């Protein structure tokens, strides 16, 4: 749902109970929903004609795209940062999650431009299939477990490219207390609050499989659900400076974790 006054439907996933036959599911705009509720409230018959072209296509092969900056001291310990490549077919997915993809690449570009040599190996992951099953995140964690990899922290940007507000941490108390000490260093650039919980759909399997601490980037949320999974989630809805500020905060956190560890 949205606080917007437009009439644009917002799509999403549908889960079926295996005990029952699958039935069509559709999304309608808020104005249409209000009109329908008002008509039904009159206790008079209502006739609606609805046509949908939605259908399932067969699964196709997809891939995670992964880049690395190799660690100089701890090459076998990993900091993962990423977002997801896919979006719903009724929009461009600029905020969900083109913004997270762009910020991930920008953190990589920045560290390379600075000539930064990380202590730990930093992985930049563009996950596949978040919107339709999260199999990219599952596969990434499964491979990491099979290789017995140690993951120091996983960070995800999947809440839009708006003004930075906070980071959320799904970690032990000791890890959270350590990262909280860095808040004065990051707060001037936007993320002025560190909270508990959260993470991200793509990185959640790392905690399930390896116990990896998770971190979610939290930009301002007030406009996100006006465009989430809707035809308005386009390139034009992204503000370049807000997008860059998110990348600045993410790069700063990656640097601190790499330099001081958890």
How much is the pLDDT for 5? 85
Which stretches in the chain have pLDDT values below 50? Answer: none
pLDDT the model gives residue 2: 75
Which CATH number do you get for residue 103? Answer: 3.40.630.10
In a domain, 35, yes or no: no
User: Quick check: is 5 in a domain?
Assistant: no
Question: In the prediction, which pLDDT does 156 show?
Answer: 98
Identify whether 17 is part of a domain.
no
| pLDDT score at 45 | 92
Query: Quick one: CA torsion of 38, 43, 44, 50, rounded to 10 degrees?
Result: 50
3-state class of 196 per DSSP? strand
Q: Looking at residue 1, what is its pLDDT?
A: 65
| Helical pair 173-180 and 240-260, crossing angle rounded to 10 deg | 120
Q: Is residue 99 part of a domain?
A: yes
Look at residue 69 in the predicted model and tell me its pLDDT: 98
Is 108 within a domain? yes
Diameter over CA atoms, the chain: 74
Contact 137, 201 (CB under 8 A): yes
Chain CA centroid to CA 100, Å? 6
Report if residue 233 sits inside a domain.
yes
What's the angle, vertex CA 210, arms to CA 207 and CA 212, rounded to 5? Answer: 50
Q: Report how far residue 198's alpha carbon sits from residue 18's, in angstroms, rounded to the nearest whole number.
A: 29
For 176-210, how does the pLDDT look when each residue is reduced to its tens digit (9 = 90+)?
Answer: 999 999 999 999 999 999 999 989 999 999 999 99
- Residue 172 domain boundaries: 65-260
By the 8 A CB rule, do 154 and 80 touch? yes
Going from the C-alpha of 86 to that of each of 26, 83, 96, the distances in angstroms are 20, 10, 8
CA 217 to each of CA 64, 157, 206: distance values in angstroms, whole numbers, following the listed order: 20, 5, 17
Q: What's the total number of domains in the chain?
A: 1
């Amino acid at each position: 749902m949205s606080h917007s006054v437009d009439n644009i439907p917002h799509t999403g996933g549908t889960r079926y109970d295996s005990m029952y036959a699958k039935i069509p599911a559709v999304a309608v705009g808020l104005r249409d929903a209000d009109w329908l509720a008002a008509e039904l409230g009159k206790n008079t018959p209502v006739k609606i004609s609805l046509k949908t072209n939605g259908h399932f296509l067969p699964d196709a092969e997809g891939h995670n795209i992964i880049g690395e900056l190799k660690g100089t001291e701890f090459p076998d310990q990993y900091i993962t940062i990423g977002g997801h490549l896919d979006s719903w077919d009724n929009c461009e997915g600029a905020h969900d999650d083109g913004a997270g993809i762009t910020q991930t690449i920008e953190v990589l570009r920045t560290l390379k431009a600075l000539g930064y040599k990380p202590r730990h190996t930093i992985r930049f992951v563009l996950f596949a299939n978040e919107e339709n099953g999260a199999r990219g995140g599952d596969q990434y964690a499964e491979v990491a477990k099979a290789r017995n990899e140690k993951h120091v922290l996983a960070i995800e940007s999947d809440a839009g490219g708006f003004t930075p507000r906070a980071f959320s941490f799904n970690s032990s108390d000791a890890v959270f207390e350590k990262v909280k000490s860095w808040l004065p260093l990051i707060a001037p650039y936007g993320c002025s609050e560190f909270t508990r919980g959260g993470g991200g759909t793509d990185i959640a399997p790392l905690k399930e499989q390896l116990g990896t601490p998770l971190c979610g980037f939290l930009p301002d949320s007030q406009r996100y659900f006006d465009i989430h999974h809707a035809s308005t989630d386009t390139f034009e809805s992204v503000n370049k400076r807000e997008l860059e500020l998110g990348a600045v905060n993410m790069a700063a956190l990656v640097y601190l974790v790499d330099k001081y560890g958890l």
